[in-house]
Amino acid sequence: MFPSGVEKYLSRFGLGKWKLEPPLNKKFTAAVVIPAICEFENICQLLESLSTNDKEYFDSTVFIFVINNPFSSSKEVKADNEKSISLIRSIIRKENSLNDDLINKIISSGMNIAMVDASSFGNELPEKEAGAGLARKIGVNLALTVFDYSSEDKKIIISLDADCIVEKNYLSEIVNSFNRRNLNAAVINYAHEISGEESEAIICYEIFLRYYELGLKFAGSPFAFHAIGSTITCNYESYIKAGGMNKRKAGEDFYFLEKLAKVTSIDRINGTTVHPSPRGSWRVPFGTGQRVNRFLSKTQNEYLLYEPNSFQILKKWLEVFLHSGYFKTDFLIDTADKIDKRLKDFLIDQNFMDDWNMILINSKSSDQIKQQKINWFDGFKTMKLIHYLRDNGMPMVNMFDALDELLEMFDHEFSEEAKIVSAERKNQPVPSIEIQMKYLNLLRIIL
């Protein structure tokens, strides 16, 4: 019934307790997987934005909502999820008991909508694993069962969140990019909604995210991409090859992309934009929601970024380490020492010498060594190095000083615009919201 790789994967990770509702006889070439917990108000907004997409793409796309919570969730969360389940069931049955114009618009759009009940009694997520990672994994695994594997078109897994808004060309841009550019995996452009009391918080946080990505891009890191769950897309082959989504309660997007980057290249789709919510949230222990909460609580200075020179150290290391040569361990350690003693100390702390000696012994070709370089110094090790430098003499610095310095270091076509924004700041430690937004818009253009 399925390709052998899919059969093998599902036999191991099928998670058969949960089912698609309703059972789908139709087959698709794209699946949008949307985990949701306590998102009743946002689901309608998301569906409205999706309904504006080109209907030509609805016939070959299924939208899978995974309504989820653990047994221990509050009565309020369970009640909200119950409303979401009822809403989606009514849309699936093409019923509009609320006589709501928006519901009529969604029903008449022609979208293929399915649902996974991982919320009601007996269907809850297991307590120890409940979270976005497991919810995404359940949705994708079920999507694998409804792909049209006879089609020559790419079978695309699209990850989205219930609190997002998408643009009118969302589906067309993703599907066409994968098929025309022969993509295996990609992240979609994103821009948080800037509104309400969270405006300052989300501008600050998105600058933080984009600054780190720009630093990695400057350094030539193969992991220079944003890790936002609602922007991840890949074909089914790459998903399986990477071992599928992990079950982490938070950070599942970062770790899945890291695995994905080790089996294929991560491209970018910039022709459309996902707009995540800027809200504070209790749903995950870290990430956007918690950073917004922390900013609003004013418990610490949020206008700090990594020292720009830490990316200089990373750049010099990667220029040597990712070189095609068969470099011996002693040479690499000595070179790291010449770049910066803290880099050498970090590598020793991470057991690099023993690991690299074993890699050299066990690798049979230059291609294997090239792959092992990426496997060893991966996105997580990269972040650990930046944090190690931060904790050992390169502390965080003022956000806007760091931006000015990194933008000057980074060779790009918007250098003059960066100088203009910097001049408008007039060395203010925290400039006006208008100036902060100019910095953010500049980063959005560059990345």
> Which one has a higher pLDDT value, 99 or 108?
108
Contact 132, 35 (CB under 8 A): yes
> pLDDT band for position 279 (50/70/90)?
low
294: confidence class by pLDDT, cuts 50, 70, 90: confident
Confidence label for 286 from pLDDT (cuts 50, 70 and 90): very low
Regarding predicted confidence, which is higher, 299 or 122? 122
Q: Which residue has better confidence, 192 or 289? A: 192
C-alpha–C-alpha distance, residues 235 and 182, integer Å: 10
The string of pLDDT tens digits covering residues 309-335 is: 999 999 999 999 998 676 789 999 999
Convert the pLDDT of each residue in 167-181 to its tens digit: 999 999 999 999 999
Domains and CATH numbers, the chain: 4-201+221-281 (3.90.550.10), 309-391 (no CATH), 396-446 (no CATH)
Distance CA 261, CA 301 (A): 33
195-220: pLDDT as tens digits: 877 889 899 999 999 999 999 999 99
Of 71-85, 221-235, 406-420, the one with minimum mean pLDDT is 406-420
pLDDT of residue 343: 98
Q: Residue 43: pLDDT above 50?
A: yes
pLDDT at residue number 186? 98
Contacts of 181-184 with C-beta under 8 Å, sequence gap 24+, read 181/267, 183/154, 183/233, 183/235, 183/267, 183/269, 184/234, 184/235, 184/237, 184/238, 184/264, 184/265, 184/267
Q: Do the beta carbons of residue 168 and residue 52 sit within 8 Å?
A: yes
* 24-42 tens-digit pLDDT: 989 999 999 999 999 999 9
Closest Cα partner for 30 from 53, 8, 59?
59
What CA–CA distance (Å, rounded) separates 335 from 63? 51
Cα atoms in the 13 Å half-sphere on the side-chain side of 417: 14
